Amino acid sequence: MNAQIGKEEVYCPTIGKHSLHESTNDNSYHLIQFAALNNMVIGSTMFPHKNIHKSTWTAPDRLFESQIDHMVIDARHMSDLLDVRSYGGGNVDSDHYLVTARIRARISNIKKLRGERIRKFCISKLQDENTTNMYVKRLEECLKQSPCTGGETIQEEWDQCKSTIQQVAEEVLGRQESRKRNEWYDEDCGKATKEKNDGYLIMQQQHGTCNKVL
């Protein structure tokens, strides 16, 4: 988008005061408008850094740099964003610098049973009419045997109903199987990455030798 965000106070709090540029260009108006309409903030302008850590693109002559790659995040999660900066020495075949963000992940409130994560019931089985009829019939039988009206309080009655429903669901539907992780970074990826890093190291050494000769 080639969006050069400025430091105009009129666009706060969508943007911060630590952009590389002083004024906003035409493309940036569209980015700021998009962020404001979707309750988002441009996090790459929120953190103070040296200019070399703000620029994200360099011209072919290496004399001009610009900040045109940005990190946009939902305003609700702005407190999770701890830092955004660029790294000019990244091993990437591009005139753009590597932009990184440091995020503080919140602890997930996942219920566990005996130290293990509770798996969900396999409710997809209810799409089968026979399974649905079996579930309903079995649930009616259990509710007749253990009616949910014997508790002294509403909470106790609800706990009895909940326990009966879970018991029937465990018996008829069962639990979902854990999903296996997709190991995308395989041996071929590792080999290609090693060859790329070795080639980058050789290029850096040759470049250093040429500078010494000059």
Task: Answer whether 159's CB lies under 8 Å from 151's CB.
Answer: yes
Q: Which residue stretches of 125-186 are H helix?
A: 129-145, 154-172
What integer pLDDT is reported at residue 108 of this predicted model? Answer: 61
Q: How does pLDDT run along the chain (214 residues), one tens digit per residue?
A: 688 999 998 888 899 999 999 999 888 899 999 999 999 999 999 999 999 999 999 888 878 899 999 999 999 888 899 999 998 877 777 889 989 999 987 766 555 555 566 778 888 888 889 989 998 998 888 888 877 766 678 888 888 888 888 888 888 888 887 666 667 777 888 888 889 888 888 887 876 665 555 5
Structure tokens at 59: 């011209």
What integer pLDDT is reported at residue 102 of this predicted model? Answer: 92
Half-sphere exposure of 107 (CA within 13 A, CB side): 2
Structure tokens at 170: 């465990």
What integer pLDDT is reported at residue 189 of this predicted model? Answer: 84
Classify domain 1-105 by CATH number: 3.60.10.10
Whether the link from the prior residue into 13 is cis, omega within 30° of 0, is: yes
What integer pLDDT is reported at residue 160 of this predicted model? Answer: 85
3-state SS class at 93: coil
What integer pLDDT is reported at residue 166 of this predicted model? Answer: 87
Where do the domains of the chain lie? 1-105, 113-172
What integer pLDDT is reported at residue 156 of this predicted model? Answer: 83
Q: How far apart are CA 127 and CA 169, in angstroms?
A: 14
- Which of these, 173, 177, 65, 63, lies nearest to 124 by C-alpha position? 173
Q: How far apart are CA 98 and CA 53, in angstroms?
A: 10
**Look-up of token digits 């004399």:** 63
What integer pLDDT is reported at residue 115 of this predicted model? Answer: 55
Q: How far apart are CA 173 and CA 154, in angstroms?
A: 27
Q: Which residues contact 96 (CB under 8 A, 6 or more apart)?
A: 56, 57, 69
Q: How far apart are CA 53 and CA 19, in angstroms?
A: 11
